[in-house]
Amino acid sequence: MTLDTKGGGQDHAGSATTNSPIAALAPLVRWESLLLIILVATILIGNWASGDFLTGLNFSNSINNAMEVAIMALAMTPIIITGDIDLSVQSMVGLSGAVMGVLWGGLTPLGYVPLPLAIAVALLVGVIGGLFNGVLVTRWGLPALVVTLGTLALYHGLAQVLLGTNVVTNFPAGYTDFAFKNIPGTFVPWTFPTFLILAVIFYAVLHRTWLGRQIFAIGKNKSAARYSGVRVGSMRTALFVVAGLIAAIAGVILALRFDSVRSSNGANMTLTVVTLAVLGGVDINGGKGTIMGVVLAVLTLAAVQSVLRLVGVSAYIEAAVGFLLIFSVTAPLVARRSRDLVNRVRLGGQSPSAGQAARNVAPSRGGGV
């Protein structure tokens, strides 16, 4: 996906434009390439600003801090590509953690439940919550924005009901080590390979299978996809279910990483998750996006947050997330309008679309095809 076509299709301004230096460089000006440049620049700035930036300990901490939102961004990507959105993910993080906590902590009539079973139930809650979102959006035809905004409050309220003011801690060391510690002999957290495995799975499904082609088709035109035989409702529902499951996994990891379950777990994560998806090149209007871009966005945001922490201005992290979200939406728009302006100048003031229409009509004047 090129930078200038993130939000729309490509326009061809004839052979003159095609043979121009700008057109020749177009394949190199990809959104992912821009992200890679920003990532490298951030690393160089971070190394200049603090000698602790390029250390194994900082890498480990930065990756650990980003893993929950990172895996949720992978699941958010296909949802946004279809033209939907799930704002409830942060509350599902809290709810799944709360379910695991009350079961393992013995805060229910069932008494103490083994942690593996408690985790399984928490993941099942994520699936049910995602299914609930999907049914309301696809079967009842309600807007995803409104539905998931409602379940954002609903799931958080359920977590508060389950836990109240209780805090569940002291999880077994084997579980907390996975969520917090590094692979022995390295500075790589155990959760990082988990993210990479999920990234490979999402990449393969989205970009290498018929399921992925259907997801993109839904995002481009739901009606056309439906007439082509795509089960639009079922696919969209399945994506909400996957998002719920992934959010529940993130909730379990977060609770184990901090060795603490509170009803407020996951607060403010939705903004970061959506930012990662859009910064990664996913068109908020649907139909476009890549998993590779999202992975680069995760690394870029982790680097930016790390720099801000090391220079002592961590209070600006939320502002940085907001800026990156706005940048990722406006940059392609500015690039696309700049491209249209260049094409208009090359066509002598005629709009690119008019020029294309004229060229499409011209062959018919010579006898047609």
The residue whose two tokens read 């109240």 is: 164
The residue whose two tokens read 């490979």 is: 200
In a domain, 49, yes or no: no
In a domain, 109, yes or no: yes
Cβ of 238: how many Cβ atoms within 10 Å? 18
| pLDDT surpassing 60 at residue 3 | no
Query: What's the CA gap between 8 and 208, in Å, rounded?
Result: 22
User: Is the Cα torsion angle 361, 363, 367, 369 positive or negative in sign?
Assistant: negative
In a domain, 50, yes or no: no
**What per-residue confidence (pLDDT) applies to 29?**
58
Within 8 A by CB and 6+ apart from 348, the residues are none
Query: What's the CA gap between 134 and 126, in Å, rounded?
Result: 12
The predicted model gives 198-206 an average pLDDT of 98
* pLDDT confidence band for 31 (50 / 70 / 90): confident
| pLDDT surpassing 60 at residue 355 | no
**What per-residue confidence (pLDDT) applies to 11?**
42
> What phi and psi, each to the nearest 5 degrees, are found at residue 150?
-70, -45
Which of 114, 105, 97 has its CA nearest to residue 159?
A: 97
User: Is the Cα torsion angle 62, 67, 68, 70 positive or negative in sign?
Assistant: positive
Total of domains in the chain: 1
**What per-residue confidence (pLDDT) applies to 366?**
42
Which of 320, 369, 281 has its CA nearest to residue 30?
A: 281
Q: Which range has the top average pLDDT, 139-153, 332-346, 353-367?
A: 139-153
**What per-residue confidence (pLDDT) applies to 298?**
97
**What per-residue confidence (pLDDT) applies to 268?**
92
* pLDDT confidence band for 12 (50 / 70 / 90): very low
**What per-residue confidence (pLDDT) applies to 23?**
47
Query: Which H helix or E strand runs over 260?
Result: strand 260-261
In a domain, 97, yes or no: yes
**What per-residue confidence (pLDDT) applies to 328?**
86
**What per-residue confidence (pLDDT) applies to 349?**
61
In a domain, 74, yes or no: yes
**What per-residue confidence (pLDDT) applies to 194?**
94
Of residues 98 and 328, which shows the higher confidence score? Answer: 98
The predicted model gives 193-200 an average pLDDT of 97
249-296: per-residue pLDDT in tens? 999 999 999 999 999 999 999 999 999 999 999 999 999 999 999 999
Within 8 A by CB and 6+ apart from 282, the residues are 77, 80, 81, 288, 289, 290, 293, 294
Domain that holds residue 103: 67-298
* pLDDT confidence band for 171 (50 / 70 / 90): very high
Within 8 A by CB and 6+ apart from 305, the residues are 62, 65, 66, 314, 317, 320
* pLDDT confidence band for 368 (50 / 70 / 90): very low
In a domain, 28, yes or no: no
**What per-residue confidence (pLDDT) applies to 24?**
44
| pLDDT surpassing 70 at residue 352 | no
Query: What's the CA gap between 78 and 32, in Å, rounded?
Result: 17
Q: pTM, whole model, 2 decimals? A: 0.85
Is the separation of the CB atoms in 163 and 262 below 8 Å?
yes
Is the separation of the CB atoms in 118 and 125 below 8 Å?
no
Supply the mean pLDDT for the chain.
88
**What per-residue confidence (pLDDT) applies to 347?**
75
**What per-residue confidence (pLDDT) applies to 110?**
85
| pLDDT surpassing 60 at residue 193 | yes
| pLDDT surpassing 50 at residue 95 | yes
Question: In degrees to the nearest 10, what's the CA dihedral of 261, 262, 263, 265?
Answer: -80
The residue whose two tokens read 């079967």 is: 139
57-69: per-residue pLDDT in tens? 999 999 999 999 9
In a domain, 152, yes or no: yes
**What per-residue confidence (pLDDT) applies to 316?**
85
Of residues 16 and 68, which shows the higher confidence score? Answer: 68
Query: What's the CA gap between 148 and 275, in Å, rounded?
Result: 17
* pLDDT confidence band for 151 (50 / 70 / 90): very high
End-to-end alpha carbon distance in the chain: 33
**What per-residue confidence (pLDDT) applies to 332?**
77
Query: What's the CA gap between 38 and 314, in Å, rounded?
Result: 19
In a domain, 288, yes or no: yes
Is the separation of the CB atoms in 289 and 7 below 8 Å?
no
The predicted model gives 109-122 an average pLDDT of 94
Q: Which of 26-40, 142-156, 180-194 has the lowest mean pLDDT?
A: 26-40
* pLDDT confidence band for 118 (50 / 70 / 90): very high
203-244: per-residue pLDDT in tens? 999 999 999 999 999 999 999 999 999 999 999 999 999 999
C-alpha neighbours within 13 Å on the C-beta side of residue 10: 11
242-255: per-residue pLDDT in tens? 999 999 999 999 99
